[in-house]
Copies of this chain bind each other. A is one copy, B any other.
Amino acid sequence: MGLKAKPLQLNTADAGFEAAFAARLHWSAETDAAIEQRVADILADVQKRGDAAVLDYTQRFDGLQAADVKTLEITQAELQAALDSLPAAQREALQAAAARVRKYHEAQKKASGESWSYRDEDGTLLGQKVTPLDRVGIYVPGGKAAYPSSVLMNAIPAHVAGVQEIVMVVPTPQGVRNPLVLAAACVAGVSRAFTVGGAQAVGALAYGTATIPKVDKITGPGNAYVASAKKRVFGTVGIDMIAGPSEILVLADGTTPAEWVAMDLFSQAEHDELAQSILLCPDAAYIAEVQAAIDRLLPEMPRREIIAKSLSDRGALILTRNMEEACAISNRIAPEHLEVSSSEPHRWEPLLRHAGAIFLGAFTSESLGDYCAGPNHVLPTSGTARFSSPLGVYDFQKRSSLIEVSEAGAQPLGRIAAELAYGEGLQAHARAAELRLNPVPTMRDSK
C-alpha cells in the first residue's frame, strides 16, 4: 500500500538546519475563541444552576439522560464489580502497575514531601508543615480514548499524599462505561465517581453543585473544552498543567536495535497526528536503518494512519555531529519523553537539563514508563519542562510556613524588621515589631 511514514531528515551541519528545525518544532496552542466563549457560558451556567445545568449538558453532549445527578454517580460496588469482571491477566497487570506506581510515589513523598523544621541559636523555630489537599477532582477522558493508566497516574499520587476524598469524573457517551477505567478507579482508591464530562464536569468540581462536591484542585487530561475550562477556573481551584501534544525524543548512539527505536517513535506517534517523534543521532547509517525499520514495521500497526501522518508531518530524524551536540539540541527542545538509547546512558544523562522524564538505556522503552515502571506519565509538554515537573505527590500537597520567635529572638529580629519597615514606609509593620522590643522605643518617622 501507499502509506508512508517519512520523518523530515535534517543534518545539523547543513546551512539551512536552524530554520528547518525551528519550523518543525513550531506548535502553537490554538486558543479557539469560539470554544473559549462556549466554555465560559457553560461554566457560568453550572455555577448558577448547579445540578440542573450538569444534567442538561450531559444529555446534550453525551446523549445521556438522567433524572438527577445522583443517578450519574458510580458506586464503590460498581467500581469493585468492574475490577472483578476483568480477565485475570488484565486485572493482575492493573494491580501490579498500581503497586509499582504507589511505591514510587511513596518514595517521592519521603524524599521531598515531608514537613521539616529547625531551631536557630536564639530558639526561633522555622520550618514548613506539609499537608495534603482536602479534596481533589480527577478528570478522566471517556468515549473512544479511555485510558485506565491515566486514572492510576492521577489518583495514586493524590492517595499517597493523603488526600481524603478523590472525586473522579468521566464522560460516558450514550451511557457506555469502560470497565477498565472503572476497575482502575477501584484499584487507585477513588472515593467517588460521576459519569459527567466536558466543561460541565470541570465547573461542577470547581464550584460544587448540590450533588457533586467542590474540590480544591482538578487534574487530568481532556479535550480542548476541558483544557479551556480548567484554565478558566484556575484560581478558584488549583489545576495541573495544560497538556499539549505528546512528544518523544530519542538520543541514539546506534547501539540499540533499530526496530526498537522505530517502535518507540511509533508509540508516541500513534497517540495523535499532532504528536511529535524526533530521533537525534550522530550515525547516518543508523538513521537509515531506523527509516528502513519504520518502513518495514508500519504496515503491521493497527494505528498506521495516525502514525504515518504524525511522523511525516511532525517527526524528524536528525543527524548530529556527535552525542554532545545531540544532548545540547535536546535541551533546546526540553521534551516530554527523552530516551537515551545508548550503551552509555550515564555518560549523557548529566548533560541533559530539561525533560519531563528521562529513559536510560535500550531496555527502557517509554511505554514501560507510561504504564508501570513507577514514575508518573503526566509530564510537561511543548517545552514547558524548562520550568515544570511531572505530576507528583507534591501536586496534592501544600505547604504552610511555620515561625515561632522567642522573646530573645524577637529582640534582634524586631530591630531588623523595624529598620526595613520604616524604609518601606510601613510604620504599622515597624511598630508591631517594636512593641515586642524591651524597652519599646519611641516611634520613628519613615525615611
Inter-chain contacts of A202 with B (CB < 8 A): none
The reply to whether the CB of A245 lies closer than 8 angstroms to some CB of chain B is no
B409, A363: Cβ atoms under 8 Å? Answer: yes
In the complex, A405→B367 CA distance in Å? Answer: 12
CB-contact partner of A126 in B374, B390, B398, under 8 A: B374
Q: A404 with B364: in contact, given A112-B113, A416-B97, A436-B260 (CB under 8 Å)?
A: yes
Closest to A306 in B: B428
B429, A403: Cβ atoms under 8 Å? Answer: no
Q: A216 with B432: in contact, given A235-B242, A401-B356, A420-B148 (CB under 8 Å)?
A: no
A97, B420: Cβ atoms under 8 Å? Answer: yes
Binds B, one of A53-61, A72-80, A282-290, A297-305: A297-305
- Interface residues in A50-107 by Cβ distance below 8 A to B read 87, 89-90, 93-94, 96-97, 103-104, 107
* Interface size classification for chain A: 35 or more
CB-contact partner of A133 in B387, B392, B402, B425, under 8 A: B387
Where chain A touches its partner, the secondary structure class is mixed
CB-contact partner of A432 in B129, B365, B398, B423, under 8 A: B365
A400, B114: Cβ atoms under 8 Å? Answer: no
Min CB gap A342→B, angstroms: 11
In the complex, A435→B293 CA distance in Å? Answer: 13
B353, A134: Cβ atoms under 8 Å? Answer: yes
- Interface residues in A343-392 by Cβ distance below 8 A to B read 345, 349, 352-376, 379-380, 382, 384-390, 392
The reply to whether the CB of A225 lies closer than 8 angstroms to some CB of chain B is no
The reply to whether the CB of A131 lies closer than 8 angstroms to some CB of chain B is yes
Inter-chain contacts of A324 with B (CB < 8 A): none
B428, A267: Cβ atoms under 8 Å? Answer: yes
Inter-chain contacts of A413 with B (CB < 8 A): 368, 372-373
The reply to whether the CB of A11 lies closer than 8 angstroms to some CB of chain B is no
The reply to whether the CB of A426 lies closer than 8 angstroms to some CB of chain B is yes
CB-contact partner of A410 in B125, B368, B426, under 8 A: B368
Inter-chain contacts of A366 with B (CB < 8 A): 432
In the complex, A427→B238 CA distance in Å? Answer: 34
A433, B367: Cβ atoms under 8 Å? Answer: yes
User: 7 A-B contacts, Cβ less than 8 Å apart?
Assistant: A93-B420, A94-B420, A217-B387, A263-B431, A357-B400, A368-B433, A372-B413
